[in-house]
């Protein structure tokens, strides 16, 4: 029986009506029209040439001969007609022969080509050096080196840890302000806030011996309207400057992505402070006249008339100021940055580039953009001190005889000569320190040094530390006098003179070849250039809060050097000859990640530059994702990831506010979010997290942990209620295994997850379930029915759309999946664990030896997290990478 059944075939079902779905009639006209359109499209497709190649270029390699291009009869017969058409329609005009390489490599032609290529994106002075060794990208109007061509992440870390890493930050824009100190502080107070840290009025920075760091906001829009980070430097006041005038000079260094926005808000702020100043003066004059008029008799008509005249004049001034402010505000909205293309600058390569300058005067305050007028290098690492001491040598200044040179005129005054002597002595003491981290933070030094090209060694030599030199502890702790921080680089005439009188490399090499004793340094006397510079100490990682273990306390310390434009290659090559490893933008991000700090603009999503960077990253990753076949890319719908390529900060904060019933407070802020930067509130949040996790467990708080937390922290909750639409910057440290990646979810663990962690500290963590996708078979049937009702052209378009959607197995289209900010997608409850934030930058930290990440969480979600924490367990969250189902345990710390 089994053998007979094995060979038998199933009987065909006769009862099935095969003609049931057949059409009742055939519409001949409609059928012929559709077929005619298809045939016409097919003929057109076959007649068109696909690609830009000629018939000769379509031949196989075995038939490609030079003779075929002259004799069409030697071509295959199937290609002769097409070749004849190309021959008839060929371009008969005489083509100009391209210039030879020898002609193109002439110096003049090279410079013309360089100038042409700099019209859209400005080159740094070290661009040609970097272009041979680095991957370059166009960012923020500049050609910026991103990373070396060799894979150097670990090598760069070793340089910052043990030796020296040098980076060219000359794309940072400098804005110069001049005016009375009180006018500058009044205008700048509209763009800063004391709660975020230092402001321009910090006592340690007003003297000019320290550089300050602050956060800039739009005019009177704090905490909304964040612009970006800025470093500022006041010109030091010497004894003579204090007695003569109260005019101060201030340099503000900002990122090129927010340079235009900063200039616009500076204009608005100083116009607003000027208007308020005149209004206050008018009110004072009015009160004085009203009080004195009651005591004046009728005989004193002249005096009263004079006081009334002053009152009228003050009112007229107020009217003119208000009108002027309105007009200026109108013009500022249209074109706040007023370009002036009359200035040009000559780079090290000899090419001239036009400088777009911005100048404005509001009252007594003068504003000018020094963009591309200064060069700034960043040296990071413990050996940066040694590299600087071997590359820089303080020049001997003897201002005697004629005063034709700039340094003879500048140091002809006694107090300037004394200041130069103090700078030399202080620099000699500083060079004895083993690391820049031993000095006072953000120390500023002014020096006038010799030409580094004369002191350059013959071969590349690694700078080594001198172990026999004893350091002076007084120099490390005490701040210098203001004369030590003063430099001649503040004077624009000195900067232009230093650039114009620079000896070219050709002249210097000719003098070296004619030198009698080869290998010895040249002695040029007064012909040698003297370059004024500014050195700014970078302290690196400072003391961290409780529970945050990080790298060495002085990691990332170094020096920033500010040089006049035109001298960058001379110093850059000198530093590289001391084996300072060159880095790019990626190395800056790596150093910031190792330090545990946010890097601008990637780590500031509430700024315009940060949002633009996120959009560019979103489009770049989405294009890369769409180019891959479905089998070679993750299915984010099954993974439960709503936003794999973007950060929906606004939707996340809004959904948490709606979930907890705080939608009214969210609507009051205009549906905008911001990053909490108030250090007082951040310290209070961090304190509550540590105290809440280290509390003693009693019978009273076993059941209602969140209720007890509310009763004990009324002040904290009141602060949180005022900042419901904000994000809290946090640091995520993996508890056991795992490494957080960008776009990873930060979720709240359940009680079962925490109980598993308490019972097994080495637990790997829970896993997310596989999410369901839509039924593909039903969708295919629907599409087939739609195709029967459409003509051929529409069907061809439908096929293209189906092929596009077939490559995306996630189910929803790409726009539905990734534009989360524009849709009502459930970000919190889509997965089994509630999401409270995302990882902005993550990876493996070489200094600590485990995975770390920096991100942002909703402050309402952070309160919800506190209610789930058990006794004697640090603030624990779950982290899941966007390409994994696995959750990992991690500890959360607040950054401030």
pLDDT tens column, 723-769: 888 999 999 999 888 999 999 999 999 988 888 888 888 888 899 99
| Dist. CA 406–CA 385, nearest whole Å | 28
Torsion of the alpha carbons at 266, 272, 276 and 282, rounded to the nearest 10: 120
Lateral strand order in the sheet of 444-450: 444-450, 530-538, 558-564, 374-380, 165-168, 581-583
Q: How many CA atoms lie within 13 A of 576 on its CB side?
A: 13
| Dist. CA 571–CA 163, nearest whole Å | 18
Q: What pLDDT is attached to residue 625?
A: 94
Q: What pLDDT is attached to residue 834?
A: 92
User: Which residue ranges of the chain lie beneath pLDDT 50?
Assistant: 1-13, 243, 282-342, 543, 545-548, 696-711, 776-777, 791-817, 822
| Dist. CA 453–CA 348, nearest whole Å | 13
The predicted-structure confidence for 494-545, as pLDDT tens digits, reads as follows: 999 999 999 999 999 898 888 888 777 788 888 889 999 999 999 987 545 4
Give, to the nearest 10 degrees, the angle between helix 859-866 and helix 649-659.
50
| Dist. CA 203–CA 128, nearest whole Å | 42
Alpha helices in 133-258 (DSSP H): 153-162, 181-188, 203-206, 239-244
SS3 116: helix
Q: Which 8-state DSSP code applies to residue 412?
A: T
Judge whether 391 and 574 are in contact, CB under 8 Å. Answer: yes
CB atoms under 10 Å from CB of 589, counted, come to 17
Give, to the nearest 10 degrees, the angle between helix 705-712 and helix 714-721.
90
| Dist. CA 662–CA 655, nearest whole Å | 10
Judge whether 655 and 821 are in contact, CB under 8 Å. Answer: no
SS3 684: helix
Tell me which residue has tokens 């591309």. Answer: 372
Q: Which of 322, 320, 296 is nearest to 307 (CA)?
A: 296
| Dist. CA 626–CA 827, nearest whole Å | 23
Q: What pLDDT is attached to residue 335?
A: 37
Torsion of the alpha carbons at 496, 501, 505 and 511, rounded to the nearest 10: -160
Beta strands in 576-672 (DSSP E): 581-583
Tokens of 227: 């612009």
Phi, psi (degrees; rounded to nearest 5) at 23: -70, 150
The pTM (predicted TM-score) of the whole model is: 0.77
Query: CA 399 from chain center: how many Å?
Result: 45
Burial 598-625 (b: 16+ CB within 10 A, else e): bbbbbbbbbbbbbbebbeebbeebbeeb
Alpha helices in 8-100 (DSSP H): 28-47, 77-88
Query: CA 835 from chain center: how many Å?
Result: 26
Q: What pLDDT is attached to residue 92?
A: 66
Tokens of 347: 């780079």
* Radius of gyration (C-alpha) of the chain in whole angstroms: 35
Q: In a 10 Å sphere around its CB, with 0-12 CB exposed, 13-18 middle and 19+ buried, how is residue 149 labelled?
A: exposed
Altogether, the residues listed in the chain come to a count of 896
Tokens of 632: 């070679």
| Dist. CA 177–CA 192, nearest whole Å | 16
Residue 107 makes CB contacts below 8 A (sequence gap 6+) with 350
- What is the distance in angstroms between the CA of the first residue and the CA of the last residue of the chain? 83
Judge whether 454 and 524 are in contact, CB under 8 Å. Answer: yes
SS3 563: strand
Q: What pLDDT is attached to residue 308?
A: 32
Give, to the nearest 10 degrees, the angle between helix 568-576 and helix 384-391.
120
Judge whether 456 and 574 are in contact, CB under 8 Å. Answer: yes
Judge whether 581 and 155 are in contact, CB under 8 Å. Answer: yes
Q: What pLDDT is attached to residue 870?
A: 66
Q: What pLDDT is attached to residue 569?
A: 94
CB atoms under 10 Å from CB of 790, counted, come to 13
| Dist. CA 776–CA 375, nearest whole Å | 59
Tell me which residue has tokens 């637990």. Answer: 763
Q: What pLDDT is attached to residue 340?
A: 45
The DSSP annotation for 701-745 comes to: TTT-HHHHHHHH-HHHHHHHHTTTTEEEEEEEEESSS----TT-E
Tell me which residue has tokens 């760091």. Answer: 213
Q: What pLDDT is attached to residue 669?
A: 63
Q: What pLDDT is attached to residue 736?
A: 85
Phi, psi (degrees; rounded to nearest 5) at 621: -70, -35
Judge whether 647 and 840 are in contact, CB under 8 Å. Answer: yes
Tokens of 374: 């200064």
């Amino acid at each position: 029986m089994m053998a007979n059944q094995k060979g038998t075939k199933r009987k065909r079902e006769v009862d099935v009506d095969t003609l049931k779905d057949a059409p009742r009639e055939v519409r001949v006209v409609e059928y012929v029209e559709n077929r005619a359109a298809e045939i016409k499209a097919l003929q057109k497709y076959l007649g068109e040439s696909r690609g830009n190649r000629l018939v000769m270029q379509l031949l196989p390699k075995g038939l490609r001969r030079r003779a075929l291009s002259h004799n069409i009869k030697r071509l295959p017969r199937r290609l002769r007609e097409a070749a004849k058409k190309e021959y008839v329609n060929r371009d008969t005009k005489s083509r100009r022969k391209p210039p030879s390489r020898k002609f193109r490599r002439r110096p003049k032609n090279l410079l013309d080509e360089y100038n042409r290529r700099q019209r859209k994106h400005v080159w740094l002075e070290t661009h040609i050096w970097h272009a041979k060794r680095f991957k370059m990208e166009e960012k923020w109007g500049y050609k910026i080196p991103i990373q070396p061509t060799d894979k150097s992440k670990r090598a760069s870390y070793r340089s910052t840890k043990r030796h020296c890493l040098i980076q060219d930050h000359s794309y940072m824009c400098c804005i110069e302000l001049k005016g009375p100190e009180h006018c500058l502080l009044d205008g700048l107070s509209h763009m800063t806030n004391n709660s975020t840290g230092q402001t321009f009025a910090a006592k340690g920075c007003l003297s000019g011996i320290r550089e300050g760091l602050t956060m800039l906001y739009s005019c009177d829009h704090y905490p909304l309207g964040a612009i970006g980070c800025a470093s500022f430097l006041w010109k030091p006041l010497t004894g003579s400057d204090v007695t003569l005038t109260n005019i101060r000079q201030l340099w503000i260094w900002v990122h090129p992505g927010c340079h235009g926005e900063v200039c616009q808000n500076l204009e608005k702020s100083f116009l607003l402070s000027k208007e308020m100043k005149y209004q206050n003066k008018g009110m004072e004059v009015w009160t004085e006249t009203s009080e004195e008029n009651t005591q004046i008799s009728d005989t004193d008509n002249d005096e009263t008339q004079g006081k009334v005249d002053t009152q009228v004049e003050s009112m007229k001034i107020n009217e003119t100021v208000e009108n002027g402010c309105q007009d200026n505000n109108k013009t500022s909205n249209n074109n706040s940055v007023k370009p002036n293309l009359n200035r040009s600058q000559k780079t090290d390569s000899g090419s001239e580039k036009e400088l777009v300058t911005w100048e404005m005067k509001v009252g007594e305050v003068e504003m000018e953009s020094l963009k591309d007028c200064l060069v700034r290098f960043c040296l990071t690492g413990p050996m940066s001190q040694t590299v600087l001491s071997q590359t820089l040598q303080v020049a001997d200044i003897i201002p005697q005889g004629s005063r034709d040179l700039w340094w003879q005129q500048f140091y002809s005054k006694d107090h300037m000569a004394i200041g130069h002597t103090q700078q030399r002595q202080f620099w000699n003491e500083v060079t004895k320190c083993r690391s820049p981290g031993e000095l006072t933070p953000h120390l500023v030094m002014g020096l006038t040094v010799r030409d580094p090209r004369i002191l350059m060694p013959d071969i590349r030599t690694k700078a080594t530390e001198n172990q026999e030199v004893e350091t002076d502890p007084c120099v490390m702790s005490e701040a210098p006098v203001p004369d030590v921080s003063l430099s001649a680089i503040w004077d624009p005439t000195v900067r232009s003179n230093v650039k114009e009188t620079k000896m070219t490399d050709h002249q210097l090499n000719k003098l070296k070849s004619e030198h009698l004793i080869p290998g010895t340094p040249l002695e040029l006397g007064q012909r040698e250039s003297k370059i004024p510079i500014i050195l700014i100490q970078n302290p690196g990682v400072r003391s961290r809060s409780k529970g945050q273990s990080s790298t060495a306390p002085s990691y990332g310390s170094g020096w920033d050097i500010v040089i006049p434009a035109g001298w960058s290659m001379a110093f850059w090559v000198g530093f590289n000859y001391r084996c300072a490893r060159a880095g790019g933008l990626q190395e800056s991000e790596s150093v910031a990640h190792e330090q545990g700090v946010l890097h601008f603009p990637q780590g500031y999503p509430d700024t315009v530059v940060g949002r633009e960077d996120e959009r560019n990253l979103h489009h770049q990753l989405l294009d890369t994702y769409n180019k891959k076949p479905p089998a070679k890319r993750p299915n984010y719908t099954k993974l439960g990831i709503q936003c794999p390529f973007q950060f929906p900060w606004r939707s996340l904060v809004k959904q948490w506010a709606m979930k907890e019933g705080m939608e009214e407070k969210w609507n009051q802020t205009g549906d905008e979010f911001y990053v909490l930067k108030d250090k007082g509130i951040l310290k209070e949040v961090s304190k509550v997290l540590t105290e809440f996790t280290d509390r003693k467990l009693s019978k009273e708080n076993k059941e209602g942990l969140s209720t007890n937390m509310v009763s004990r922290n009324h002040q904290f909750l009141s602060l949180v209620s005022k900042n419901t639409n904000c994000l809290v910057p946090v640091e995520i440290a993996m508890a056991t295994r795992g490494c957080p990646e960008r776009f990873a979810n930060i979720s709240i663990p359940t009680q079962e997850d925490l109980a598993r962690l308490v019972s097994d500290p080495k637990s790997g963590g829970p896993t997310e379930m596989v999410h369901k996708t839509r039924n593909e078979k039903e969708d295919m049937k629907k599409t087939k029915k739609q195709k029967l009702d459409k003509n051929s052209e529409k069907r061809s378009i439908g096929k293209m759309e189906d092929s596009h959607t077939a490559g995306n197995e996630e189910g929803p289209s790409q726009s539905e999946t990734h534009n989360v900010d524009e849709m009502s997608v459930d970000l919190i409850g889509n997965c089994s664990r509630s999401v409270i934030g995302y990882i902005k930058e993550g990876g493996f930290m070489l200094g600590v030896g485990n995975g770390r990440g920096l991100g942002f969480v909703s402050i309402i979600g952070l309160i919800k997290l506190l209610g789930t924490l058990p006794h004697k367990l640090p603030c624990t969250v779950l982290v899941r990478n966007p390409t994994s189902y696995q959750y990992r345990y991690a500890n959360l710390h607040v950054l401030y």
